[in-house]
């Protein structure tokens, strides 16, 4: 599905063609409120403890561990702060604020895990791509031609002129 979308986005437009809006439909996408997400996690924790009662005997396994992973600066720590109901972990507008893996006990059933942003080399083609996607802090730019070239290759001239 994503390869078809990528081909559609990268396909050059003929001069007479108007750019069409690409519709992406995900039948499994649902946005949860804090209360809904907490209920979902609580239900999962109960489901796991019902499935394996021995799990409750150990201090390390009696709570459901819920982790957040992803690119830097996508909101992992912000989600944890929302779930906690107050600021428990630091957030910043620049990537790289979370330096270490952190665990936060939410209640008797849940433990939240926050980790630094992860960049998998197989998904990032170049440093220029990581800079333009916001994975690397903008103040680390030493050479600006590659990121600018990448932007120019992906954004239509008409968009930049307006």
- Its pTM stands at 0.56
Which residues, at least 6 apart from 137, have a Cβ–Cβ distance to it below 8 Å?
Answer: 94, 95, 96
At 111-125, the pLDDT tens digits run 888 888 766 656 667
Q: How confident is the model at residue 145 (pLDDT cuts 50, 70, 90)?
A: very high
Give the DSSP H/E element, type plus range, for residue 83: helix 76-84
Residue 92, pLDDT > 70, answer yes
pLDDT digit string (tens) for 30-89? 788 889 988 988 888 888 777 766 665 665 567 888 888 877 778 888 888 888 888 888
């Amino acid at each position: 599905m994503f390869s078809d979308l990528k081909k559609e986005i990268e396909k050059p437009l003929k001069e007479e063609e108007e750019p069409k809006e690409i519709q992406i439909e995900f039948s499994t996408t649902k946005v949860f409120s804090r209360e809904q997400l907490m209920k979902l996690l609580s239900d999962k924790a109960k489901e796991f403890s019902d499935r394996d009662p021995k799990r409750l005997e150990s201090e390390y396994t009696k709570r459901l561990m819920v982790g957040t992973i992803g690119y830097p600066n996508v909101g992992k720590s912000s989600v944890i702060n929302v779930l906690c109901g107050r600021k428990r972990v630091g957030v910043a507008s620049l990537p790289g604020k979370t330096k270490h893996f952190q665990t936060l006990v939410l209640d008797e059933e849940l433990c939240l895990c926050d980790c630094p942003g992860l960049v998998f080399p197989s998904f990032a083609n170049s440093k220029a791509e990581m800079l333009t996607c916001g994975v690397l802090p903008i103040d680390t730019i030493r050479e600006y031609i590659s990121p600018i070239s990448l932007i120019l290759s992906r954004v239509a001239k008409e968009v930049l002129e307006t």
